Amino acid sequence: MRFSTIVSTVATVLMLAGTAFGEIKTETVIYQDGDLKLEGFLAYDSELKGQKAPGVLVVHQWMGLTGYEQRRCRELAALGYVAFALDIYGQGVRPENQQEAGKQASIYKKDRTLYRKRLNLGLAQLKSRAEVITEQCGAIGYCFGGTGVLELARSGADVQGVVSFHGGLDSPNPDDGKNIKSEILICHGEDDPFVLPVDIAAFKDELTNAEVKYEMLVYPDAVHSFTQPMAGNDNAKGAAYNAQADQKSWQSMKAFFHRLLKQ
């Protein structure tokens, strides 16, 4: 049975990256884009007890909002953030295979206006939370979501920083770089076959010409989806997990957000 209100659950997490923490409170959040229901996921440390914390938006990969994004939200909550995984596709729209995922993702890559609308609706949900310091928010995204956080920044969204993990790095409209208000951290696999050098060059030109502060970290022997264990370990397929790149990129994200959101 689904509810139109927020349904609360509690998850107990014991240890993460050597840091102990208490209960992480999680919620399924139903919100709207017109008549379309969207189903997001929220996590924060119950130890906040009425205090506010910086917020981080999580944008899912092309399979939609899955347990992977929920895990990342819990990990972010353990670091002291309020984390919200948005839903681009709509409640119940969860691709069952790569073919279905490709069709869903292409809808939004072809219609960047719609994509940005859904991204900003998710950001609005995060900022609407009483637990969130609205002036201290960032966003992270994986693959399709890595492209998404860049589109969020290009929309002119009021965020302090965005982190793209193995996202698309094209530049469909170079002038949009002028709308970016945030710093950008790009975590990219050196051997990613889905991101062409010509696109990377255009992307860098867009940011440089718009005077956007950014850093691009490139991980050797890493291909697409290097943060995702479900991608397997065969680099020859073009998408595979790389534990070292995963860990290093996460540490870089932590330092990035600590500087921007926890001053």
pLDDT, tens only, 198-238: 999 999 999 999 999 999 999 999 999 999 999 999 999 99
CA 139 to CA 153: how far, in whole Å? 9
Q: How far, in Å, are 85, 242, 247 from residue 68 at the CA level?
A: 10, 16, 15
pLDDT, tens only, 39-77: 999 999 988 877 899 999 999 999 999 999 999 999 999
- 5: pLDDT strictly greater than 90: no
State in words which class domain 51-85+95-261 has.
alpha beta
pLDDT reported for residue 134:
97
Question: Which of the four pLDDT bands, split at 50, 70 and 90, describes residue 263?
Answer: low
pLDDT, tens only, 158-205: 999 999 999 999 999 999 999 999 999 999 999 999 999 999 999 999
pLDDT reported for residue 22:
61
- Bridging pattern class, strands 132-142 and 82-85: unpaired
Domain coordinates in residue numbering, the chain: 51-85+95-261
pLDDT, tens only, 8-28: 333 333 333 334 456 999 999
Name the residue among 224, 232, 231 with its Cα closest to residue 167: 224
* CB count in 10 Å sphere of residue 150: 29
- Enumerate residues 6+ apart whose C-beta is below 8 A from 27: 6, 7, 8, 9, 41, 42, 43
- 1: pLDDT strictly greater than 70: no
pLDDT reported for residue 262:
85
